[in-house]
């Protein structure tokens, strides 16, 4: 199974998420993560969708089907090496009186994670990184008892020097249009 | 294209149509009808109900400009709009209410998307303040129809109506055509627009721009393969009719002398009399066209999508051949069959542009190979079907007799099943845009409503619906629409008292375990008479000619029931999972 990141640029209208996800559902492709926000251009949304699939061919077909949605302006499919990407995670970690104190120096310097909220009996730590880095930190902090953990979807931008404006929607996947 | 060029959804067209008849502000319902008129709509297939009543109130004022045909079930409206669209190439329009009105359309919308049929469905919806409250006749029509529409949109503000309807027509008809659904809340229909009504046709959209003219390098690559091929074979798809490429196709074929065969929805785009026309492709297609698919060295697929009913087992489908795929929908390229030379564009423009690039050629020997298979098929299947020695009438002889009597020039609307396959095999189409059937979805009950839709679109042509006894009972109530609107369609029921195609499969693949396929039918002629439609039952071969003559001579709707052999099978046949070359003759 290879991880693919699909970036979809759409008009920002009601129901567009539904129009996109139904294309995955029909082909029984599970969405591992999904992030949506408006881009630097007003009225244009950017979806970052991560899936795992064994067939690049199937992913290319999926990308073409997404492109058919009228509100979609452009779709790009990427392998991990094509993109810079990150996720953010928040950990609510128990720190009861008398327990082993957190090693803040290691958390900051070795794991590049930061405490963003202190409470008498717990702290909230923010960690940014790839999925692997976040789970490395997860394993490190686990002995302290994780009360709550949340991980965002992936955000990604292409490593290619071209900007969106330079692209035809089809450029990334050898598109036949 | 850059995202900063234009942030608006539509870029306005040339001459806007400004309402002059009613210069005062109009309400949403009048805007709906005036927008439809501005788009050139003359016929609407519809059914009123609570949430669409404001539009029905408005339409009352425009009866001199718009012909509203009252169907008996919303599914009938959808199929009638499809029949109209398929024969005219124009957008078919349906108007129905919310909830069950909308869900009854769903089968027809699904049919239209898979058969690339342009349609605009205008649906009433509960008032916007009631959305999401489970109000009376509220259904999430937007959610339901996302996977089966080319585009759908919900209007909650009367001011949006002209722009959205213009956009709907543009999307439905351009590129690869398809159904568009517009859901309009009742308050948007009732409220006055806050600005004067102006309808501007959409000519371009920011995020949707179908390619019409193929790229030069794609054409060059295709021409190179065509010029090198020794045994090229051209497939005529539905795209030929949609783009109106019939003449360009003939010019291309006559210059290159390439033999051609048709998909189900490509039928009638090329006359059966053309010396390069080799027949029909796929599961019940011809012997030679299927076998030689696996012996050609190049496939030139024009406006078709390699449906599984055409290809059979893909792992053994035309592996020896290179493929030129001319197709307007880029998502169809490589979807099923890998294209060596994809040509993305409109079929008519693509063939026009290809013509100067291809060499004149002669493929006599290659074409003759098809004839060898034709002789075998003729002897084993066609002749016995057309001149049977059995007592009961066979479907094939009914269809061929009709074909002869109408000189192959009628519009034939076939339903789904054995009679559909027999019609495709035995009607000898000589005129373009003459065959309408539900190909992709295989919707039983399609033909009766589609036939009167087609008759509205082509009032000067003879329209004959070929229907099985099972299919007929799925939309039988549309006899009422036909009677009330006085549309003189001719209806032939090929009655074998069976769901014939399912029975055939049960015979061939399920050891004759006939599971729920035998029908106890009503007296169809009495039913027709109840609707005020004349009819006749033909039970004997001697009566067949006279029965068909009476039907064709009638200037009114007419129902002819023909009692046919109970257990006929359609052959040739490529069974599911088999390879096209292993097509069975018995």
CA–CA dist B58, B183 (Å, integer) = 17
Chain B residues with CB inside 8 Å of A10's CB?
207
Q: How close B371 gets to chain A, by Cα (Å)?
A: 37
Res B9: pLDDT: 37
Of A10, A64, A164, Cβ closest to residue B331: A64
pLDDT digits (tens, 9 = 90+) for B438-453: 999 999 999 999 999 9
CB atoms within 10 A of CB B208: 22
Q: Which DSSP symbol is given to A13?
A: -
Which residues lie below 8 Å from residue A142, measured CB to CB, with a gap of 6+? none
Q: Chain B: nearest CA to A72, how far in angstroms?
A: 6
In chain B, whose CA is at the least distance from the CA of A164?
B2
Between the CA of residue A2 and those of A57, A79, B265, what are the distances in Å? 12, 8, 39
User: Which residues lie below 8 Å from residue B389, measured CB to CB, with a gap of 6+?
Assistant: none
Domain range for A47 is 2-83+157-173
Rounded Cα–Cα distance for residues B433 and B158 (Å): 38
Diameter of chain A measured on Cα atoms:
66
Q: Is the CB of B146 less than 8 angstroms away from the CB of A72? A: no
Sign for the pseudo-dihedral over CA of B449, B450, B451, B454: positive
Evaluate whether B245 touches B239 at the Cβ level (below 8 Å).
yes
- pLDDT > 80? residue B153: yes
Is A176 within 8 Å of B7 when comparing Cβ atoms? Answer: no
Name the residue in chain B with its Cα closest to that of A19. B146
pLDDT tens figures, A83-112: 999 999 999 999 998 888 999 999 999 999
Shared domain for A8 and A59, answered yes or no, is: yes
In whole angstroms, what is the distance from residue B537 CA to residue A146 CA? 80
A interface with B, Cβ–Cβ below 8 Å: 9-11, 14-15, 18-19, 22, 26, 41-44, 57, 60-61, 64-65, 67-68, 70-73, 164-165, 168-170, 175-177
User: What CATH number labels B391-563?
Assistant: 3.40.50.970
pLDDT of residue B2 exceeding 50: no
Taking only the tens place, the pLDDT of each residue in A119-162 is: 999 999 999 999 999 999 999 999 999 999 999 999 999 998 87
Q: Determine the number of helices (DSSP H) and then strands (DSSP E) in chain B.
A: 23, 22
My answer on whether A17 and A58 are in the same domain is yes
A19 to B207: CB separation less than 8 angstroms, yes or no: no
CA distance A23 to A67: 11
pLDDT at site A160: 85
At B252 the pLDDT is 98
Is B147 close to A26, i.e. CB distance below 8 A?
yes
* Contact list, A42 vs chain B (CB under 8 Å): 7
| C-beta separation of B38 from B202 below 8 A | no
* pLDDT the model gives residue B15: 61
Is there a contact between B7 and A43 if contact means CB atoms under 8 Å apart? yes
Q: pLDDT tens digit string along B80-109?
A: 999 999 999 999 999 999 999 999 999 999
Residues A45, A93, single domain; the answer is no
CATH number of the domain that residue A57 is part of:
3.30.70.260
**B151 close contact with A: CB closer than 8 A:** yes
Q: Which two tokens stand for residue B568?
A: 């006929």
- Domain B10-205 identical in fold to domain B216-368: yes
The CATH number linked to A89 is 3.30.70.1150
CB nearest to A22's CB, from B146, B207, B334: B146
Q: Among all residues of chain A, which has the CA nearest to that of B340?
A: A176
Closest-CA distance, A2 to chain B, in angstroms, reads 20
Residue A19 sits in the same domain as residue A53: yes
**Would you call B333 an interface residue with chain A, using a CB distance cutoff of 8 Å?**
yes
Does A171 have pLDDT greater than 90? no
Q: What does the pLDDT read at residue B306?
A: 98
Question: Residues of chain B with pLDDT > 70: what percent?
Answer: 96
Shared-domain flag, residues A141 and A168: no
pLDDT band at B24 (very low <50, low <70, confident <90, very high): confident
pTM given for the model: 0.93
Is A168 in the same domain as A126? no
pLDDT value, residue B489: 98
Give SS3 for B321.
coil
Is residue B336's pLDDT more than 70? yes
| Same domain assignment for residues A76 and A162 | yes
Residue spans of the domains in chain B: they are 10-205, 216-368, 391-563
* A98 and A57 together in one domain: no
Topology (CATH) of B10-205: Rossmann fold (3.40.50)
* pLDDT tens-digit series, residues B457-498: 999 999 999 999 999 999 999 999 999 999 999 999 999 999
My answer on whether A109 and A122 are in the same domain is yes
Tell me which residue in B208, B331, B339 faces A65 most closely, judged by beta carbons.
B331
A42 half-sphere exposure, CB direction, 13 A CA radius:
4
Subunit contact A176:B330, Cβ cutoff 8 A = yes
Contact B476/B526 with Cβ under 8 angstroms? no
In this predicted structure, what is the pLDDT of residue B5?
34
User: Could you give the ipTM of this predicted complex?
Assistant: 0.90
Strand pairing class (B198-199; B179-185): unpaired
Q: Is B154 on the interface with A (CB under 8 A)?
A: yes
Res B367: pLDDT: 98
pLDDT of amino acid B161 = 98
- Judging contacts by C-beta atoms under 8 Å, the chain B residues touching residue A168 are 1
| Confidence band of B7 (pLDDT split at 50, 70, 90) | very low
Judging by DSSP bridges, how do beta strands B534-538 and B119-125 pair with one another? unpaired
* A111 and A63 part of one domain: no
From B343, which residue of chain A is nearest by alpha-carbon distance? A176
Closest CA of chain A from B304, distance in Å: 16
CATH superfamily of B216-368: TPP-binding domain (3.40.50.1220)
Give the separation between CA B399 and CA B468, rounded to whole angstroms. 13
Distance from CA of B172 to the nearest CA of A (A): 11
Based on the domain organization, do A108 and A64 belong to the same domain?
no
Which tokens hold the place of A42? 């007003």
Average pLDDT rounded to a whole number, residues B540-567 = 98
Locate the DSSP E strands across chain A: 2-11, 31-38, 44-53, 72-79, 83-94, 113-118, 122-129, 146-151, 155-158
DSSP-assigned states of every residue in A103-117? -HHHHHHTT-EEEEE
Residues A46 and A36 in one domain: yes
How far is the first Cα of chain B from the last one, in angstroms, to the nearest whole number?
57
Which chain B residues contact residue A73 at CB under 8 A?
3, 206-207
Q: How far apart are CA B371 and CA B244, in angstroms?
A: 29
Domains held by chain A: number: 2
Query: Could you tell me if B3 lies within 8 Å of chain A, comparing CB atoms?
Result: yes
B217 touches chain A (CB under 8 A): no
- Which residues of B are known catalytic residues? 74, 136-137, 186, 501
At B21, the pLDDT band (50, 70, 90 cuts) reads low
Q: Which of B9, B146, B208 minimises the CB distance to A18? A: B146
Rounded to 10 deg, the angle between the A16-26 and A56-67 helix axes is 150
- Across the A:B interface, residue pairs with CB atoms under 8 Å apart total 65
Interatomic CA distance for residues B9 and A73, integer angstroms: 11
Is B150 in Cβ contact with A165 (below 8 Å)? no
Please report, for residues A11, B7, B10, B171, the alpha-carbon distance to residue B1 in angstroms, rounded to integers and kept in the order given.
Answer: 15, 12, 15, 19
The whole-number pLDDT of residue A40 equals 78
Give the pLDDT band (50/70/90) at residue B207: confident
CA distances from B64 to A43, B43, B46, B223 (A): 42, 11, 17, 52
Chain B residue numbers with beta carbons less than 8 Å from the beta carbon of A169 are 1
Cα dihedral angle (B555, B561, B565, B570), rounded to 10 degrees?
60
B344 part of contact set with chain A, CB < 8 Å: yes
């Amino acid at each position: 199974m290879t991880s693919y990141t699909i970036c979809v640029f759409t008009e920002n209208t009601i129901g567009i998420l539904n129009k996109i996800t139904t294309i995955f559902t029909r082909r029984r492709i599970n969405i591992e993560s999904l992030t949506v926000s408006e881009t630097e251009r007003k009225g244009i949304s950017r979806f970052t969708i991560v899936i795992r699939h064994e067939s690049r061919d199937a992913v290319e077909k999926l990308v073409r089907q997404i492109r058919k949605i009228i509100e979609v302006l452009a779709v790009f499919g990427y392998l991990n090496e094509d993109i810079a990407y990150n996720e953010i995670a928040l950990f609510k970690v128990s720190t009861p009186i008398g327990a082993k104190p957190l090693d803040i120096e290691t958390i900051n310097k070795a794991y590049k994670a930061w405490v963003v909220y202190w409470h008498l009996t717990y702290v909230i730590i923010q960690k940014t990184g790839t999925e692997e880095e976040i789970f490395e930190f997860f394993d490190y902090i686990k002995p302290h008892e994780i009360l709550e953990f949340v991980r965002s979807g992936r955000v990604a931008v292409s490593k290619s020097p071209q900007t969106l404006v330079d692209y035809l929607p089809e450029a990334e996947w050898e598109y036949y249009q | 294209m850059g995202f900063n060029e234009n942030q608006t959804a539509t870029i306005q067209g040339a001459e806007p149509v400004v309402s002059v008849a009613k210069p005062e502000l109009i309400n949403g319902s009048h805007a709906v009808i005036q927008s439809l008129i501005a788009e050139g709509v003359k016929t609407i297939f519809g059914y009123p109900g609570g949430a669409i009543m404001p539009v029905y109130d408005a339409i009352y004022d425009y009866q001199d400009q718009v012909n509203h045909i009252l169907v008996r079930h919303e599914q009938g409206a959808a199929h009638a709009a499809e029949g109209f669209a398929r024969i005219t190439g124009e957008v078919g329009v349906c108007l129905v209410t919310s909830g069950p009105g909308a869900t009854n359309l769903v089968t027809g919308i699904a049919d239209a998307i898979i058969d690339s049929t342009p349609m605009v469905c205008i649906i009433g919806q509960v008032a916007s303040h009631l959305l999401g409250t489970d109000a009376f006749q509220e259904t999430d029509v937007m959610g339901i129809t996302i996977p089966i529409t080319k585009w759908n949109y919900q209007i909650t503000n009367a001011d949006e109506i002209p722009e959205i309807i213009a956009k709907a027509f543009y999307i439905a008809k351009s590129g690869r055509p398809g159904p568009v659904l517009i859901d309009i809340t009742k308050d948007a229909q009732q409220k006055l627009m806050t600005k004067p009504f102006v309808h501007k046709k959409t000519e371009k959209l920011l995020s949707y721009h179908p390619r019409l003219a193929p790229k030069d390098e794609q054409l060059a690559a295709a021409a190179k393969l065509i010029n090198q091929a020794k045994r090229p074979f051209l497939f005529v798809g539905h795209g030929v009719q949609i783009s109106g490429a019939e003449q360009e196709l003939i010019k291309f074929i006559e210059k290159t002398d390439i033999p051609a065969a048709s998909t189900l929805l490509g039928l009638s785009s090329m006359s059966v009399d053309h010396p390069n026309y080799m027949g029909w492709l796929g599961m019940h297609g011809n012997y030679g066209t299927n076998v030689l698919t696996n012996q050609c060295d190049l496939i030139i697929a024009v406006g078709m999508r390699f449906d599984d009913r055409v290809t059979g087992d893909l792992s053994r489908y035309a592996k020896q051949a290179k493929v030129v795929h001319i197709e307007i929908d880029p998502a169809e390229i490589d979807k099923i069959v890998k294209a060596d030379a994809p040509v993305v564009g409109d079929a008519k423009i693509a063939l026009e542009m290809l013509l100067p690039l291809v060499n004149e050629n002669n493929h006599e020997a290659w074409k003759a190979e098809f004839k060898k298979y034709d002789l075998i098929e003729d002897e084993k299947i066609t002749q016995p079907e057309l001149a049977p020695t059995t007592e009961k009438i066979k479907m094939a002889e009914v269809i061929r007799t009709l074909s002869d009597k109408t000189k192959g020039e009628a519009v034939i609307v076939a339903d789904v099943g054995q009679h559909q396959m027999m019609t495709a095999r035995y009607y000898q189409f000589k005129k373009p845009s003459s065959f309408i059937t539900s190909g992709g979805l295989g919707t039983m009950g399609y033909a009766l409503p589609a036939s009167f839709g087609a008759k509205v679109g082509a009032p000067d042509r003879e329209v004959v619906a070929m229907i099985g006894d099972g299919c007929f009972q799925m939309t039988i109530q549309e006899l009422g629409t036909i009677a009330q609107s006085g549309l003189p369609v001719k209806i032939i029921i090929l009655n074998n008292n069976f769901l014939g195609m399912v029975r055939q499969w049960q015979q061939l693949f399920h050891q004759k375990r006939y599971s729920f396929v035998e029908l106890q039918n009503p007296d169809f002629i009495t039913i027709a008479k109840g609707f005020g439609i004349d009819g006749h039952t033909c039970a004997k071969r001697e009566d067949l000619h006279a029965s068909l003559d009476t039907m064709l001579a009638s200037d009114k709707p007419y129902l002819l029931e023909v009692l046919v052999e109970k257990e006929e099978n359609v052959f040739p046949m490529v069974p599911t999972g088999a390879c096209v070359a292993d097509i069975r003759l018995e």
